[in-house]
Structures are given as C-alpha cells and as structure tokens.
Amino acid sequence: MEMKNENAGTPPQGAATNPSFARVFLHGLGYGATALVGLLVGGLLMLLAVSAVTSISPATLLRGSFGGKGTDQVTINAKSTSSDQIVAVVKKLSPSVVSIRTTSVLNDKFHSNLEGEAQGSGVVFRADGYILTNNHVVEGAKNISVTIGKEELTGTLVGGDAETDIAVIKVDKKGLQAAELGSAKSLKVGELAVAIGSPFGFQHTVTTGVISGLNRTFQTDTTAGQGQTYSNLIQTDAAINPGNSGGALADGRGRVVGINAVIYSQSGGSEGVGFAITIDTAKSVANQIINKGAVTHPYIGIVGQTVDKDLAATLSLPVTAGAIIQEVVTGGPAAEAGLQKNDVIVKFNGETIQSMEDLIAAIRAKSVGDKATITYYRDKDQKEATLTLADKPKT
C-alpha cells in the first residue's frame, strides 16, 4: 500500500514493519556515515596543510588565536616566508644584536682635536661578553659604548682586522644571549634574508629581503691607492643604511649568516644593494683575534690587474681573461717560484682565474702554509709553478 509522507522529519505510521522502507533507511544511514567520515578526514588534512604553510600549530588554528599567546607558539619554518616566520626570527635574534656608539678624535692638517661620534651595530658572539662588529665601526675609537637591550655598557676593543673588516669588542658582562651562527655555505640565492641593526641610531630596526647573490667581490674607492678588496660577500636587497654596519644578516631560521658591512649606492642610501661578510669568515677571524691576538692572511706576493679584451689587445696577450702581474714582491712566494712581471695567471690549483678578484678570492680560501699550483702564460707559452702561501705582511 503506497503511503505519502507530508512531513519529511516524521516517519509514517507502520514504516518500521515495512521491509522495503527499512532497507532504504539503512542504506541512507550508511551513505550519511561515509560522507561524515569523508568530511572529517578532509578537514583534518586541510588543517594539517594550513599548519605546515603558516607554521601555526593545529591547536592554535582550532582555537582561532593567532595573536597574543598564539604568536609565541610560532615555530620557524625555513620553507615559509609568512610574517609569523619573520616575527619568530626577530624574536629569537634581537636579544643578540647590540647598538654601538663610538667617539674618536681627529687630528690632521685640517683638524685639531676634533671629537666626533659614530653609530654602528654588533652581534653577541659569546655569552661571556665578546661581540662581533665591523673593523670600520670601531677603528680609531677613543671610547666605545655598547647598548644591550636597555643597558649601556663600556666596550673594549679586543682586536680588529682591516683585511676582512671584522673586529671583536668585549663588555664586562656574562650571561649574554649569544646568537646562533649558521653558515653561508648552505645559502641559496632567493631565500629569505632578515637584517637587524641600528641604522641612524634606531635600535633593533628590522628589514627583510632575499639573498640576492653569493661569492660577490666588492672594491672600495681606489682613490690615492687606498682601496680595499673584499671577497666572498653575501649580497642582499634587504635595506641597509649607515648604522647597520656590524649588525646581523639572518636566514629564515634565525641563524646569523653574515655581518652587514657595505652599501653600494649612488647616494649612500638603501636604494642600492647591501653586502655582508660571511659568518664563516667572521667566526674564523674572531677566534684568531680572541685566541691568538692576531689574524693571518695567506698571500703570494704580487700586485696585479684584471685582464680584459682591451688590455689583451694593447699588450698583445695570448688570453683575454686572467690576472696579469704588475709587480712581484721581493722575497715573496711568487718571486721564489719564478713568477715575473707581465705573467698572466689563468688558474690557481686548477680553478679558472678570470680576474684579479678571482685570484684574491682563491688565495683567501686557503691557509698560510698551503701549497698552490699556479698556471700562467709568459708571452705565448703556458707554464706552471708551485709555491707555498705565506702570511701577508702587516704593512
């Protein structure tokens, strides 16, 4: 007997004794349960996916609390570039970044006892008071003041190295929060970069960008022969301004990978590009300063110039790239190995040399006492020489 149900929420009288109706009802329950399980599984997968991308824990997402205590639970995920990740990097690293103020007295033919102030930044290297900064921040300073959080302390220069632009200062305080140090060797172009320092005296200023380049060479103004060549630098587009020098360049996990040092800009402002000394170099130099009181630098004892097409044509050179020797230092490794003026170096330990900067970087990657094979051209003849790297004289 066919029955109509005008109320979908109320089964018709006697339906429980109808076998056909029972089967339909049970099938409906089965489909409904399957759909419910599917929704629960899909929701769980979506929750886990959102958690992985945002670095916010599933519990925090369920509570809906992304600020306050929820922010404290954010973990640093190097695969994410969310604002939460940057906040976590800053929270981790800020206690280890300090502000440095120096006073110096200038005496030259234009000035007499002229006192001036300068600003910079630093990174806590060791918990017992050792701090990394740039040599140019503290060089010639009469007084050094270090601000850690809200506390101002007197800094003492332990030592500096103009060759790498790294210096170490010390404050009389223990229990500092030393920065976690990473390595530039694992960096990839395009990954997150976070710069923390005190540009223009504004403490703990944070700028972000990416790692724009690796193994860069930068030469400062060569006017009057006073230029300095820096090699193996990290390039970044994170805004760096005067006062950032000596501060931290961090990766996406909050590890220091570089010490900010140089701005290349037409105006000196942050619209240019910034360069940082790798933490690998800074750490090596700092340990030598602290443990030995001096830093050694391998050298071969030449003054050279980059070979390009124009120079090759002018001098009738057999190659259009390399490093041509302009002067050989008497008694140096190159002189003892028989190298001469106008020899063109094209390989260093089998590594192709296309410029003087390449040669400088290759030499600095070695240690004093290492052996090196030099491949070079003398006129049109290719030759080889083996030499031992010496410690570069201080003068």
**Which among 351, 352, 348 has a CA at the least distance from the CA of 370?**
348
Which are the contacts of 6, defined by CB distance < 8 A and separation ≥ 6?
Answer: none
3-state secondary structure of 188: coil
3-state secondary structure of 54: helix
Q: Reply yes or no on whether 82 is catalytic.
A: no
Which are the contacts of 128, defined by CB distance < 8 A and separation ≥ 6?
Answer: 174, 176
**Which among 345, 341, 333, 326 has a CA at the least distance from the CA of 392?**
333
- Helical (H) or strand (E) element with 159: strand 151-161
Please give, one letter per residue, the 3-state secondary structure of 124-155: ECCCCCEEEEEHHHHCCCCEEEEEECCEEEEE
* Catalytic residue (choose from 55, 96, 121, 165): 165
Q: Tell me, rounded to whole angstroms, the distance of Cα 335 from its chain centroid.
A: 37
178: number of Cβ within 10 Å = 16
- Give dist(CA 373, CA 232) in Å, integer: 21
Q: Reply yes or no on whether 204 is catalytic.
A: no
Max Cα distance, the chain (Å) = 119
Assigned token pair, 291 = 């443990």
Assigned token pair, 347 = 């390989």
Start-to-end Cα distance in the chain: 113
* Catalytic residue (choose from 55, 121, 198, 245): 245
* Catalytic residue (choose from 121, 136, 198, 343): 136
Assigned token pair, 20 = 């056909």
CB neighbour burial string for 187-214, b if at least 16 within 10 angstroms, e if fewer: beeeebbbbbbbbeeebbbbbbbbbbee
Residue whose tokens read 């700092």: 286
- Give dist(CA 371, CA 301) in Å, integer: 14
> 175, 93 in Cβ contact below 8 A?
no
> 137, 246 in Cβ contact below 8 A?
yes
CB neighbour burial string for 126-146, b if at least 16 within 10 angstroms, e if fewer: beebbbbbbbbbbeebeebbb
**Catalytic positions:** 136, 165, 245
